[in-house]
Amino acid sequence: MDDYPLLDLFLTMLWFFLWIMWLFLLFKIFADIFRDDEMGGWGKAGWIIFCILLPFLGVLVYVIARGKSMTQRDVKQARESEAAFQDYIRKTAGTAPAAGRGSSVDELARLAELRDKGAITPEEFEKAKAKVLS
């Protein structure tokens, strides 16, 4: 252990960590290239060849040139995934045996949340609750 000082160990770990980060970024860029609907096939092929032949320069240029749209595609995908998940939950909850009760329970929960936030008064909550339960 004497011929490998602690500073060398630290630098080795740093370089390894940076290499892993670069691989992560490279795979994220490849996923973004294939996810982009606006880019044509030749554009995708060009970016992939550029990132394979000159990996560090290709990744750097891609992040500089398309980083903002890359973030927008990530946000769009996250929103679509969340919407699909919420839709799945609604469909699954709607197929339960007490489907009619689920919607009134949801409505009561929403009304209670509005009351707790102060958006409606307790009297308005009671009126709406009576309406939902009738």
Give the CA-trace dihedral at 124, 129, 131, 134, to 10 degrees. Answer: -160
Q: How many domains does the chain have?
A: 2
pLDDT tens digits, residue range 67-77? 888 989 889 98
* pTM listed for this prediction: 0.55
Same domain, 48 and 89: yes
Q: Do 34 and 65 lie in a common domain?
A: yes
Q: What is the mean pLDDT of residues 47-57?
A: 91
| Same-domain status, 63 and 118 | no
Both 53 and 89 in one domain: the answer is yes
Range of the domain at 53: 1-95
- Residues 107, 88, single domain; the answer is no
Residues 56 and 109 in one domain: no
Question: Pseudo-torsion of CA 78, 80, 81, 85, nearest 10°?
Answer: 140
Same domain, 30 and 64: yes
Nearest CA among 76, 50, 53, 77 for reference residue 63: 50
Label residue 61 by pLDDT band (50, 70, 90). Answer: very high
Phi/psi at 92 (5° precision): -70, -45
Q: What is the DSSP letter of 5?
A: -
Tell me, yes or no, whether 47 and 58 share the same domain.
yes
- Asked whether the predicted pLDDT for residue 95 surpasses 80, the reply is no
